[in-house]
Structure 1
Amino acid sequence: MALQAVAGSKIYIGTRVALPTDLTVDLTDFAPQETEWLQINGWTNAGALGDAREAISQNFIDADRTETIKGTKNAAEMQNVFAPDYSDPGQNRLRQAVDDCSNYAFKIEWGAGCAANGPVTISVATPGVVTWPGGHGLKAGSPVIFAATGGTLPTGLTAGTVYYVVAAGLTPTTFSVSATPGGAAIATTAAGTATSITATAQPAGRTVMFYGIALSASENGGEANTAQMGTHSIKPNTNLVRV
């Protein structure tokens, strides 16, 4: 068991989305958001996130007892606090979402300040294989970003772009990546010119995505030495996708 800090976490808002009829999403549903995510800056307090089951109860006279069974899943409202910044694009989109009837895509990177980081090599192959000495601790779908020192990555990959670990060929020390969650593994066609390559990746299960609505926004008052903060309520309307 490894403890994870909330410090360093980041929250993002995507675009308006249409809810699926079964209210269920998977990694592929978030592929169109990769170029749309806006970080909501100034996050000072993160609310709880997760599903609870509604309870269905029936009283039985002859048993002198109430039996309870599981009902539908219902996510609680996530109460988040931000330092108001009307120049921040992420906060402004969140305010827009409060006034909108639409659902939006949301992403949270819990404890992003503790993301795994280390030197890697990338082969020229179909697909390209990333080797992370000492082990990477990632699973299929985990997001990975590469940085190149002194040059470029192998052809087919771009520094600073978010890629996703694919299931095929995944070992404790090697993996290939795709451009979208659940997508095809990327082939590298020529060696890069970088003198070194560094990979940064969230621990498995620490990135959460969902569709939801922004229900409310309020700003506190207080005595003279109180910092003014804004509270925003986000209500998931789908399952939570973890990578």
Structure 2
Amino acid sequence: MALQAVNGSKIYIGTRVAPKGTVTLADFTAQETEWDEIGGWTQSGSLGDTQNLITQPFIGEGRERQIKGTRIGGSMENTFAPDSNDPGQIKFKAAIESCSPYAFKVEWGAGCASEGEVTISVATPGVITWPDGHGLEAGSPVMFTPEGGNMPTGLTADTVYYVVEAGLTPTTFSVSATPGGGAIATTLAATATSITATAQPAGQTDLFFGLAMPGAKQGGAANTALLRTWAIAVDSNIVEI
């Protein structure tokens, strides 16, 4: 069992979205260019579904029986150091005034994401080579950032892809556009002088729709930092990638 650090985690707010109780990864595709990190995050709240119980007493059994009811995402109570110039905090304040949900993303342990220079072959599928080893597993999200040119045809810079199980070795892998999808073929070679891959372990990124809720500032004694509590009322299932 590998321990996962909360330190280095990042929380992002996207755009206003139409209310939707059940979401999939496709509901977040358009958010890739819209995420703003909410800076000054000092304390993370809990994130995950709870489930209501329906109880019914039975006279003849002398017991109260239970069945599972509806699920609810609960409220993620987060604490931030107020920063009036932070883009993410500015967007969150605007979201508080809206009656609509917004898209949110949490990258747990993002400060320990793997990063390294890679090469990408022109092949069907294209093979990414990470010479010093990537430490990734099938389904891990990965992004590529080119320097001084373009990506190979078939791949787009700064777009999230997913490691494919077929052909996965300690130093090489292929990617798909969706988790568990088919491997992507590359055609024309990259013009970039270098390509950097950045990857998170599978299961450490959470995506969901939620309502931005107001919260109070926390004061205290003279040597206490001024903080603000902002909650996100989770209004959908949570997509883990």
TM-score tier (shorter): 0.7 to 0.9
Structure 1 position 33, deviation (Å): 0.5
Distance 1:98 1:183, change over 3 A: farther
Unmatched runs of 5 consecutive residues or more in structure 2: none
- Aligned match of 1:99: 97
Say if 1:143 and 1:165, in contact at 8 Å, map to a contact too: yes
**Cα deviation digits, residues 126-173 of structure 1 (max 9, x gap):** 442223454542333x431224467654345455x1321165846344
Alpha-carbon distance between aligned partners in 2 of 1:66 and 1:183, rounded to the nearest angstrom: 46
Taking structure 1 as the reference length, what is the TM-score of the superposition? 0.87
Say if 2:138 and 2:162, in contact at 8 Å, map to a contact too: yes
Say if 2:82 and 2:227, in contact at 8 Å, map to a contact too: yes
- Aligned match of 1:18: 18
Alpha-carbon distance between aligned partners in 2 of 1:72 and 1:221, rounded to the nearest angstrom: 38
Q: Amino acid of the residue matched to residue 161 of structure 2?
A: Y
Counterparts of 1:17-166 in structure 2 under 5 Å? 17-20=17-20, 23-132=21-130, 134=133, 136-140=135-139, 142-148=140-146, 153-157=151-155, 159=157, 161-165=158-162
- Aligned match of 1:7: 7
Alpha-carbon distance between aligned partners in 2 of 1:240 and 1:50, rounded to the nearest angstrom: 7
Alpha-carbon distance between aligned partners in 1 of 2:147 and 2:209, rounded to the nearest angstrom: 37
Over the matched positions of the two proteins, sequence identity in percent amounts to 57
- Aligned match of 2:231: 233
Alpha-carbon distance between aligned partners in 2 of 1:158 and 1:54, rounded to the nearest angstrom: 43
Taking structure 2 as the reference length, what is the TM-score of the superposition? 0.87
**Cα deviation digits, residues 20-67 of structure 1 (max 9, x gap):** 3xx111111100101111110110000000001101111122222111
The answer to whether 1:205 aligns with 2:184 is no
Say if 1:27 and 1:182, in contact at 8 Å, map to a contact too: no
Alpha-carbon distance between aligned partners in 2 of 1:105 and 1:184, rounded to the nearest angstrom: 27
Say if 1:125 and 1:187, in contact at 8 Å, map to a contact too: yes
Say if 1:31 and 1:181, in contact at 8 Å, map to a contact too: no
Alpha-carbon distance between aligned partners in 1 of 2:138 and 2:112, rounded to the nearest angstrom: 17
Distance 1:19 1:166, change over 3 A: farther
- Aligned match of 2:216: 218
Alpha-carbon distance between aligned partners in 2 of 1:195 and 1:35, rounded to the nearest angstrom: 24
Say if 1:105 and 1:209, in contact at 8 Å, map to a contact too: yes
Number of residue pairs the alignment of both structures matches: 238
TM-align CA RMSD: 2.5
